Amino acid sequence: MTTPNTGSFLNGQDQGLPAEYRPAPWLQPLLAFAATFTAVLAIVNHSRNSVPFESDTLWHVAAGEWMLDHGQILTWDIFSYTAAGKPWLCQEWLSEVLMACIYRLGGWESLFFLAAAAFAATQALLAARLQKRLTPYFVLTFAMLAFFFGMFHFKARPHVIAWPVLLLWLANVIEAADRDEAPGWWNIPLMALWANLHGSFVIGLGLLPIFVAEAVVPRVMAGRWRDPTVRRWLAFALGCLAATLINPYGINLLLQIGRFLLNGSLASGGEWSSWDFSQVNLFGPWIVLAWGVALVQGIRLPFWRTLAFLLIVYVTLRHLRNINLIAFVVPVLLAKPLGQHWAARRLNSVERLMARTRPQHGPVALAAAALFVLGIGSLHARYTPVAPSDYETAQGALTAVEKAGITGPVLNDSYTSGALIRRGVKVYIDSRGDLYGADFVTAFRKMAWLDEGEAAKRLIQGCSVGWTIFPPTMPLNAYLDIAPGWRRLYADDFYVVHTNDKCGGRFASP
């Protein structure tokens, strides 16, 4: 009879790699954490394009601060005037409260450190799981790939805060399937935590039936449907589904995410876009290379693992934001078959040196790594602190609006919404497409890009908008430059502001 897993919460109990190949269990996770944290700091410090803040960061912090100040979870919109008071599900409420707490403790720099630490912890967990199946050479290879793909979507936002939980839960489920037993029960409350941190928990729910089928279908086909493992897997799956209901919104959270994902006009654009292989990117070559290596090496995956792999590839191709699944989950998914395939590989000199490390040196190594991370973090905060740039804060544009005493409702695009919300300005629209609905979002896009010029004229010619703020590339700016009663107040490299001078400060609801 299969016994339930009683292994370590973090490291499991399965040690598939021979002992002589394994360094001390602390070595590779500590190296992964320290190297990732240091590399993130270095890249952010030297690359403007890698600034860890964006518009959504600002309103996530604002939402968290509101919940801290009022002692309740947001269930309605407080940020816009077009959907004011409308029911709204604050899906990442726990991450937002954590972000607000960290921000109040140490400002933007501490929020950046939180995101960097979450990324580094995810890399450490990945190394801890892979080292049980793979030699250090392959652990390093996968960790480097995970770092590069992870940096693609690294921002101080709830999805990064949830990365360690995402990897931990999925790795626990995958490794339990590797051992042909049900996952430990502690993964059920872990799913509840994930569901309150970020909506990516639905990925776990989507992959779980595949692993349940991997364990249950062969037993049922063999007439062993009363096998305890069958009952444990089914009970675990039901427990995880029930755990996702432990949130401020109950089943409405699942329904809301489902409606959003099934609505193509909402789940599109920006990070929700599909991969464009007509452009140069790292993802396409990686997929082709990985498939080529698998064919040349003769690597074979069982049916259910192939299905899980293809599902992960599909959701990654469907939405750019899911690249972290390729980065973090696929290596764990493939660790067992790859470890078996490459079991006869000889260690190189560095790997042999690493294999000499001893478990008893772990506390000293942990202390040294902690001092190192704290040291470079302190130096970074002192000499090269990070904060949202003028692109995220619209500092110049909004300062000009305040000095000019401009009043009235604002017409903005979604990226400027974070800066406006941060300053207490009610917005026309923001990135919460699920709140506004597909029709509103589509109509706004067509109006702002002058695909429906009459709609833009009706809005601009009336007195429902007092001023506008858009990026310089927005076609609506050119129309406002010549529209009667409108005046260009401010322009810089990031934003253009126009004001409505024809309504005498009296504005109607849009």
pLDDT tens by residue, the chain, 510 residues: 444 443 333 444 444 555 555 667 777 888 888 889 888 888 887 765 557 899 999 999 999 999 999 999 999 999 999 999 999 999 999 999 999 999 999 999 999 999 999 999 999 999 999 988 888 888 888 898 899 889 888 999 999 999 999 999 999 999 999 999 999 999 999 999 999 999 999 999 999 999 999 999 999 988 888 899 999 999 999 999 999 999 999 999 999 998 888 876 665 566 777 776 666 666 667 677 777 766 666 677 889 999 999 999 888 888 888 888 888 999 999 888 888 776 655 555 555 555 555 565 557 666 776 777 777 777 766 667 788 888 899 999 999 999 999 888 999 999 899 999 999 999 999 999 889 988 898 888 888 888 776 778 888 877 789 999 999 999 999 999 999 899 999 999 999 999 998 876 566 555
Decide if 410 contacts 467 (C-beta within 8 A).
yes
- Minimal CA–CA distance to 406: which of 470, 483, 487? 487
Q: What is the DSSP letter of 329?
A: I
Helix (H) or strand (E) holding 486: strand 486-491
Instruction: Report d(CA 262, CA 337) in Å as an integer.
Output: 34
Instruction: Report d(CA 464, CA 60) in Å as an integer.
Output: 27
- Minimal CA–CA distance to 28: which of 168, 187, 154, 141? 141
pTM of the shown model: 0.88
Buried/exposed code over 475-490 (b: 16+ C-beta within 10 A; e: otherwise): ebbebbeebeebeebb
